[in-house]
Structure formats: C-alpha cells, structure tokens
Amino acid sequence: MYATILLAYDGTRESRLALQEGAEIAERFGARTHLLAVINLPTALLGGEALAAGGGMAREVERCQEVLNEGLERLKARGLECVGHLERGDPHETIERLAREVHADLIVLGYHRRSGFGKWWHTPTCTLLIDHTPTSLLVAIRDENPETEPQPP
C-alpha cells in the first residue's frame, strides 16, 4: 500500500512519536523512507541581517543537522534504510515539495494540540498540508500526559 514514506522531523516529542509510527508503517509495508528536517528561519535572517545576527543561521543549520542525524540513527536502529533531507524554507511548502519529488505515498508528522490563545497564534503545518498535500497524511498526536515519552523507534 505504501512504497515511499516522508517523515517530517524536528526532534520534538511529537515528531519522535511520528517517527515511531512512520517507522512501524515502513517496516510493515517494506517502504522506502525519507526523513526531512526543515530550517525555518525568519525571512529577515535569510537576507543580509544573517551576518548581523552573529552566526545565528549557522547555529540553526548545525542544530537541524544534529536533529536530522539523530532521527536517521533512530530509523537505522530499527533496520530501516532512510534518506535524510535538510532543507531551508517554510515547513508546509517544503514538505509538500519534497513529497512530490520523492513520490511519497504517505507523509507522517507530529502535532501537539494547542488550547486557548495558542490556537490564535499558530497556523499548524498539518492544516496547510491537508489543503495542498499530494498524498495521504498521517498526523501523530501526542498523548496529553507530558510524562509519556515515545520509545525510540
């Protein structure tokens, strides 16, 4: 059913849950996996202000590369082969574009429910993807118990 799975990963508990669920699906279907980490810097940092920011962009690239490597190691520990992608840009646009490029049958990402004012201040990537995604989308939703930590995939 699924031949190629794209996993969006940022190292949060929600994305570790998504990684775990995506890995289980990849194992079941023998799917190829692509792991994506997106560097989403404010537009100002992508211009000349990046130099004035004291290397903030370089630190963010390094942090995202570490997150990507950690996710790849989690997948390799399960015996899965995975291609890593470190991309810059808007998360929902980057996920959508890469899903088309790798011909993904399924996109997997994590989500944390927001309440109160949090809903007003955030436009969730998954909401935008639902409207524009070229394929099926699995949204792994974190358990409301903050003590619950997904087991390594």
Distance from the first to the final alpha carbon of the chain: 21
pTM value is 0.79
3-state secondary structure of 135: coil
Q: What's the confidence (pLDDT) of residue 119?
A: 44
Residue % of the chain over a pLDDT of 70 = 70
Written as one string, the DSSP assignment of 27-85 is HHHT-EEEEEEEE---HHHHTTHHHHTTSHHHHHHHHHHHHHHHHHHHHHHTT--EEEE
- Chain segment 131-142, per-residue pLDDT in tens: 777 788 888 886
Q: How far apart are CA 57 and CA 68, in angstroms?
A: 16
Both tokens of 4, joined, read 């190629």
- Chain segment 20-61, per-residue pLDDT in tens: 999 999 999 999 999 999 998 664 455 555 555 556 778 888
Query: Class assignment of domain 4-141?
Result: alpha beta
Q: Where are the domains of the chain?
A: 4-141
Q: What's the confidence (pLDDT) of residue 107?
A: 95
- Chain segment 82-141, per-residue pLDDT in tens: 999 999 998 888 999 999 999 999 999 887 665 544 444 455 665 677 777 778 888 888
